[in-house]
Amino acid sequence: MLPQLAVCIPAYEMGGKGAAFLRHCLESLVVQRGCSFEVIVSDQCSDGSIRDVCASFSERLSIRRVDGTLVKRSASANLSVAIDSSRANTVKVLFQDDYLIEPESLSETLAVMTSRGGGWAVCGSRDVDGSLSPTAKRIPRFHDSIHFGRNTISSPSVLAFRKHADLVFDRSLEWLMDVDFYYQAFLLYGPPLIIEGCHVANRLHAHQVSQRIDAETILQELSWVRSKYRHIESSAQRREYYRQYFKNRVKKWLKA
């Protein structure tokens, strides 16, 4: 029997902390109840630590580790490997440095998507620091200029979606990989189902993309994302593009 849900996790060294982060993430999956699910870990780690963590959970989870080293070293490419390897029709994204807060997180996600018939859903989240102290709850909100980087939803770890051939993470993107996907999902399925329950903890640390991305990369990605959807661009979306573009031009100038 096929699982109801695939939890897809891209994994890396993360400055030597990747294995510990993944272990904590997987522990939050062990306690999930109320649905059948598989865990797919796409491994771009070169030291074997991710492989060892996955092996240690083999008797407590339906878990498969797949080789992500044959694709570009990026979250979008690595996550795509996990998604392509999954068997379930519904995918839950979960980054290795994040984790689920409630033991009904997966079952509630499935229940909402089944009962309300949506193609994608996003849930509430909290940020946590190194001591795992949580910040205020964040309720996701969608707007149709989200692909330019004003992210009112949160990280991909809050996302679940029905697989579709036309819905993919753009492997050329790093900074805008999540918001570009959210806009794709909107065009395909309409607005997301909002799960107000706080299901995901987003860990804050020095190895996040947000801590190392440069303004030039953001500018390049903004231009590329705009080119993909310019034929359907509204005046409001055009204004948001220029707002984000010039904001990051100023950041680049200040750091020069």
Domain limits of the chain?
5-206, 214-256
Mean pLDDT for all residues in the chain: 94
The segments of the chain whose pLDDT lies below 70 read 131, 134, 206-211, 256
Which long-range CB contacts under 8 A does 107-114 form with residues at least 24 apart? 107/32, 107/33, 107/34, 107/35, 108/34, 108/195, 108/197, 108/199, 109/5, 109/160, 109/195, 109/199, 110/4, 110/5, 110/35, 112/193, 112/195, 113/160, 113/162, 113/193
pLDDT of residue 211: 63
Is the pTM above the cut of 0.85? yes
pLDDT of residue 144: 97
Q: Are 95 and 10 in contact (CB under 8 A)?
A: yes
Architecture of domain 5-206: Alpha-Beta Complex (3.90)
